[in-house]
Structure formats: structure tokens, C-alpha cells
Amino acid sequence: MNRAYLLTGGNLGRREINLSKAREFINQQCGHIINSSSIYQTAAWGKTDQPAFLNQALEIDTSLNARQLMRRLLKVEKRIGRTREEKYGPRIIDIDILLFNNETHDYHFLKLPHPELQNRRFALLPLAEIAPHLIHPLLNKSIAELLEECPDQLAVKKYP
């Protein structure tokens, strides 16, 4: 069994329902969700003239390898209604693999660990809630340490 840490997010439509659908489909098609963070609200990162995002980290057990998991997650996004039109643009749902076991990968459609994890508070904060002692396989620092050192000062707040 493989252990993966995912980040779900979105800023269009019924955001909470979209995150709920993502959890449901991930649990059915990708692997068993064994832990999930609170939902957090964050101002848009990268392209700021758009609605705020909701994000949630998930920890899953999966029999899939990293590439198989990424392909399934892309299908889940499409099933929920994701279209890819603009980098960092608004989206109904986005599902990223942050970490997969202790593995590193560099494929055109999948880079692991997520190359920007240490620079994104909106990913680190929910991940730190469920896995603060998890060690980043390239930086050899815990998620809690990366969160403390994170240069991103964008406000990330628990969603009511």
C-alpha cells in the first residue's frame, strides 16, 4: 500500500460541495482517505484578481503508483467539471499530489514532491494539520519546519 498526501482546492461554483465531491470520488476511485484537514480559505495565489479558494489536505492509502494516481485524479477533476484554460486561473476543483511515500518523480505531468510545496502556505498549513512530522524527501525538513520557514505570507484561515 502507498501513502499519498493530496491538496484539493477550488474557487468557483459551490466550493464546499466541490471539495466534498472530490473526497467522495477520491475515496471511491483512488484510495481510502485515512485523514483530512480542516477546510481553509485563502486569497488567490499567483493570479490575484479572482475569488478566494477553499483548500483541504487529504492523506490516502492507495494501491496505485504515483503516475496511476495522478491519472485518476485528473479524471476526478474532469468528472467534477474542471477545464484547464488559464494557468493559476479560477477553477471548480484542483487536486495535487503533494507527497507520495518518500518518492521523487520528474515527469512532464507529475513532479514529486510537489515542487512549490515549501513556498505555498495554503498547502503547508492544511498538510501540517494532519502530518506535521512528515519529512520532505528532498529538503529533509518536517512539514511543520517548512511552514515556519515559508516565505509566503498570504493569509490562510480556517473556513467556518
pLDDT class for 80, splitting at 50, 70, 90?
Answer: very high
What pLDDT score was predicted for residue 118? 98
72 catalytic residue (yes or no):
no
CA dihedral 121, 109, 57, 16 (to 10 degrees): 100
Handedness of CA 144, 90, 97, 26 (dihedral sign): positive
Topology of the domain comprising 2-158: Alpha-Beta Plaits (3.30.70)
What pLDDT score was predicted for residue 152? 94
Catalytic member of 15, 72, 91, 120: 91
pLDDT tens digits for 39-49? Answer: 999 998 777 88
Buried b (16+ CB within 10 A) or exposed e, 25-47: bbeeebbebeebbebbbbebbee
94 catalytic residue (yes or no):
yes
pLDDT tens digits for 112-129? Answer: 999 999 999 999 999 999
Catalytic member of 94, 120, 121, 152: 94
- In angstroms, the Cα distances linking 103 to 7, 49, 106 are 17, 35, 10
Catalytic member of 23, 72, 82, 121: 82
10 Å CB burial of residue 135 (0-12, 13-18, 19+) is middle
Catalytic member of 15, 23, 96, 120: 96
> Is residue 39 within 8 Å of residue 55, measured between CB atoms?
yes
Output the pTM of the full model: 0.95
Of 69, 41, 71, 76, which is closest to residue 56 (Cα–Cα)?
41
67 catalytic residue (yes or no):
no
pLDDT tens digits for 25-41? Answer: 999 999 999 999 999 99
What pLDDT score was predicted for residue 86? 73
3 catalytic residue (yes or no):
no
What pLDDT score was predicted for residue 46? 78
pLDDT class for 89, splitting at 50, 70, 90?
Answer: confident
In this prediction, residues 70-91 reach a mean pLDDT of: 89
